Amino acid sequence: MKNSVHLVLFLPFSLQHLLKDDLDSVLSAVQSKNKSLEEDLKRAFNEQQKKILQLKIYKKKLLTALGKFLEEHFPSPEKGGSKKKSQNSSLFLTSLTNILVDKSVSTPHEPYVPIDDSFWPPYLELLLRHGIAQRHPENPDRIRLEAFHE
């Protein structure tokens, strides 16, 4: 009888000890996994930062190449001699396309740009006619860059 009492008293203590050991090992495993996940997250974040930087560099190169092309093939209104406007009063095709690209990249959910007198109408019509830009369906005084990626 005395042995059974010792066994009954000792059994809960040993179960508690085993349970504590199991919980400690689970805690250790979870902490190890958490640390591993944090390292993976940091690594993925750094990779994304590198990709963003590469995309910004690529965008800058594309805009530079586009600017050179537009300067060569679509000179400013003053150089072309078609209309006499001051350089400050009208946006050249380069500026217009830069505005449209920047707006579509910075706010893709609202890519429309309001049209005002600073846009030179022949260049605006050129972009619209050739499907490079598109008017807002409800407000014709706003345009956006055509979504070529869709």
Task: Kindly report the pTM of this predicted structure.
Answer: 0.52
Q: CB–CB of 144/113 below 8 Å? A: yes
CA distances from 51 to 46, 55, 134 (A): 9, 6, 30
Domain residue ranges of the chain, discontinuous segments joined by +: 74-150
3-class DSSP state for residue 93?
helix
State pLDDT tens for residues 125-138: 989 998 899 999 99
H/E segment holding residue 37: helix 2-73
pLDDT at residue 111, as a whole number = 92
State pLDDT tens for residues 95-135: 888 889 889 888 989 999 999 888 888 888 989 998 899 99
As a whole number of angstroms, the distance between CA 127 and CA 141 comes to 14
As a whole number of angstroms, the distance between CA 145 and CA 107 comes to 12
